[in-house]
């Protein structure tokens, strides 16, 4: 009997006893059933019997929110083999008790390998044909499978995005010109962690560093104006939000740029419709920058966003990405110009674009029928 089989039997015997009383299994059973069928459809199209999922994006999507990481910078501590008979999650022996008790959805068999073992090789050994499809074999198909959000994950995403927007309000409303960029980032980090999420990205620039579009925070005070950016993950889903704060009425040039970048975003929203391709939307982005006075090269100075969800962007839109937009898909577009940027996480619904990262306390204006954030003036 091999090591993975021996430890599988031991783990399966202990699963029931290790689960806390009244513990709710992660995920939504109805949503998970649809996701499993989407994987089976991929297997049918490929003429194969199993698929090995190894990335955080694929695992958290398929498990419907289970946490399969320890280090935010490290690889997942689990791998999933999906075959026609069932779902098999393989993890290290030192992770199995926690995963069984807190992260294992109903109907998933748990297998273990030694903490020093080969996780992916052990999971592959469980494949009926001996060599499963890898994620790299079906990258585009898996991305398509993640596109259309299901009811349970849509509700989870909306709650996360609203929580992140509220954290932005709380943190920035307490800032002063003397507050440092690191202090803004730490205030945001504390709130993100307290809500049960992981801060994947925390950016802040004050008035003296406003030319940087990816500003890692420093000890500099923010001064008269600042931008903060958060990408926060909970249950596998990533919310992306940018907000601005200032301590005076703003210069005419700033106010004009803020109005024009919101107009660029409105044009992008108008182009984000079912059936549109990402390369076509990207062409509209390039034209919108010119149309609203930012210049033809503006798109080259920062990425423009794209579909969102179980990755920060899934994928980033470029002139070469040809994925087609579907109903109930989620997006974070982030057009930017010199010292100006706008960014929220939204969902394409039957009624149009619905902004998910909303805090009613934050000042907003209606732009082409959609409420968009203004700069918070303190």
Q: Is the pLDDT of residue 35 over 50?
A: yes
- Per-residue pLDDT band for 195 (boundaries 50, 70, 90) equals very high
Predicted confidence (pLDDT) per residue in 127-155, tens digit: 988 899 999 999 999 999 999 999 999 99
Which two three-digit tokens encode residue 7?
Answer: 């430890």
For 362, the enclosing helix (H) or strand (E) is none
Please state, in angstroms and rounded to a whole number, the distance separating the CA atoms of residues 197 and 185.
15
Please state, in angstroms and rounded to a whole number, the distance separating the CA atoms of residues 22 and 24.
6
Q: Is the pLDDT of residue 175 over 80?
A: yes
Q: Is the pLDDT of residue 9 over 80?
A: no
- Per-residue pLDDT band for 14 (boundaries 50, 70, 90) equals very low
Q: Is the pLDDT of residue 23 over 60?
A: no
Count of all residues that appear for the chain in the document: 378
Tell me what pLDDT residue 26 has: 79
Model confidence, pTM: 0.94
Predicted confidence (pLDDT) per residue in 252-287, tens digit: 999 999 999 999 999 999 999 999 999 999 999 999
Largest CA distance in the chain: 75
Buried b (16+ CB within 10 A) or exposed e, 37-53: ebbeebbeeeebbbbbb
Tell me what pLDDT residue 162 has: 98
Q: Is 263 helix (H, G, I), strand (E, B) or coil?
A: helix
Residue ranges of domains in the chain, CATH in brackets:
3-145 (3.40.350), 151-377 (3.90.230.10)
Q: Averaged over 1-22, what is the pLDDT?
A: 42
- Per-residue pLDDT band for 24 (boundaries 50, 70, 90) equals low
Tell me what pLDDT residue 130 has: 81
């Amino acid at each position: 009997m091999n090591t993975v089989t021996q430890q599988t039997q031991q783990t399966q015997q202990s699963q029931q006893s290790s689960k806390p009383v009244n513990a709710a299994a992660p995920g939504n059973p109805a949503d998970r059933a649809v996701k499993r069928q989407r994987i089976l459809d991929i297997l049918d199209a490929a003429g194969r019997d199993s698929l090995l999922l190894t990335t955080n994006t694929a695992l958290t999507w398929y498990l419907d929110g289970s946490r399969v990481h320890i280090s935010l910078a490290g690889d997942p501590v689990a791998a999933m083999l999906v075959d026609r008979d069932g779902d098999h999650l393989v993890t290290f022996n030192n992770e199995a008790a926690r995963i069984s008790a807190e992260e294992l959805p109903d109907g998933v068999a748990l297998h273990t390998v030694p903490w020093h073992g080969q996780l992916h090789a052990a999971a592959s050994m469980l494949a009926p044909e001996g060599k499963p499809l890898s994620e790299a074999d079906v990258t585009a198909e898996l991305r398509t499978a993640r596109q259309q959000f299901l009811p349970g994950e849509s509700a989870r995403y909306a709650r996360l995005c609203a929580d992140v927007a509220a954290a932005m309000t709380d943190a920035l409303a307490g800032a002063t010109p003397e507050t440092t960029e690191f202090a803004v980032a730490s205030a945001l980090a504390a709130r993100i962690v307290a809500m049960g999420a992981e801060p994947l990205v925390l950016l802040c620039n004050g008035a003296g560093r406003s030319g940087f579009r990816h500003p890692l925070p420093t000890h500099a005070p923010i001064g008269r104006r600042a931008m903060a950016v958060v990408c926060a993950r909970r249950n596998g889903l990533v919310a992306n939000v940018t907000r601005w704060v200032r301590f005076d009425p703003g210069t005419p040039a700033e106010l004009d740029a803020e109005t024009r970048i919101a107009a660029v975003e409105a044009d992008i929203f108008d182009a984000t419709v079912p059936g549109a391709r990402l390369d076509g939307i990207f062409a509209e982005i390039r034209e919108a920058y010119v149309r609203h006075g930012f210049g033809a090269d503006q798109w080259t100075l920062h990425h423009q966003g794209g579909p969102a969800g179980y990755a920060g962007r899934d994928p980033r839109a470029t002139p070469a990405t040809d994925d087609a937009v579907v109903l109930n898909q989620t997006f974070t577009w982030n057009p930017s110009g010199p010292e100006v940027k706008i960014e929220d996480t939204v969902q394409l619904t039957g009624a149009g674009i619905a902004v998910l990262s909303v805090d009613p306390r934050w000042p907003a204006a209606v732009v082409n029928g959609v409420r968009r954030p203004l700069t918070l003036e303190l």
